[in-house]
Amino acid sequence: MWGKVVHVLVITVFTVLLAFPFYWMVITSFKQNVDLYTMENNPFVFNAKPTLDHLKFLFTETRFVRWLANTTFVGIVVVAITLVLAVPAAYSLARLSGRWGERLGIAIFLTYLVPQTLLFIPLSRVVAYLGLQDSLWALILVYPSFTVPFSIWLLMGFFKSIPKELEDAAMVDGLTRFGAFAKMVIPISTSGILTVVIFTFTLVTQEFVYALTFISSESNQMIGTGIPIFLVRGDVYYWGALMAACLIASLPIAFLYNLFLDRFIAGFTVGAVK
């Protein structure tokens, strides 16, 4: 009985802590400025009637919709590039005999750990040489430099958990190596591939240094740079619009995480072997 009580308490605490930022964003997004800036008011409830002024300001006075579209476009293209490069690379390293596969995987992952504050200077020369300044294609070019290494390292663990006997049996039945990979390994690794898709898209939406360095015009901004640049004007913070923008941008990702949570955790190897 006490075990169940502790289990419920732990879940309750984590649920409250994880839900609190969203609750705070909702409250702040619809609060009147008078209610928001009055120190005597309770910040966690509506002390005055809710208002839609912050949302109107966000959608009419800024390019928020354009920033969302830019982020979505760059995220989809980068996810596609990452999958095309990371899936075969991770499979090759996972199946590489000896210790070389593991060593190469660690070496590739170490490139992901190099700070972006060191890489944006040489990458800016590359972007300038290609004539991609102030273009979304500059971000599409540089973002795979950190999404691909991370995805390779993540997928290697999924591919290593798949027994080689499954592929051997598929090839005995007449499939080629590529056929076994496409028809056997990929379906079993769906949870890992979905994890890579969500994590890659999340990394793209959260990235700040490259987007700030390579994009200058307001219409080409990403959501991670457009919000703080154009909703913080000097010492004036548009808190209501800021929280509304953060809430709108974070809800789809949170929804996808919860939608595929079971597939992130559960593997398909045991069921495939059976």
| 181 inside domain | no
**pLDDT of res. 262:** 67
Structural domain for 31, as ranges: 1-51
Tokens of 164: 């080689």
| 183 inside domain | no
Residue type for position 47: N
43, 110: one domain? no
**pLDDT of res. 261:** 67
| 197 inside domain | yes
81, 12: one domain? no
**Contact criterion met (CB below 8 Å) for 174 and 246:** no
100, 42: one domain? no
* Domain count within the chain: 2
**pLDDT of res. 155:** 86
| 185 inside domain | no
* pLDDT < 70: residue spans in the chain: 96-99, 101-102, 261-274
| 264 inside domain | yes
43, 75: one domain? no
What is the pTM assigned to this prediction? 0.84
241, 264: one domain? yes
108, 38: one domain? no
**pLDDT of res. 51:** 92
131, 219: one domain? yes
Residue type for position 87: V
Residue type for position 236: V
**pLDDT of res. 39:** 86
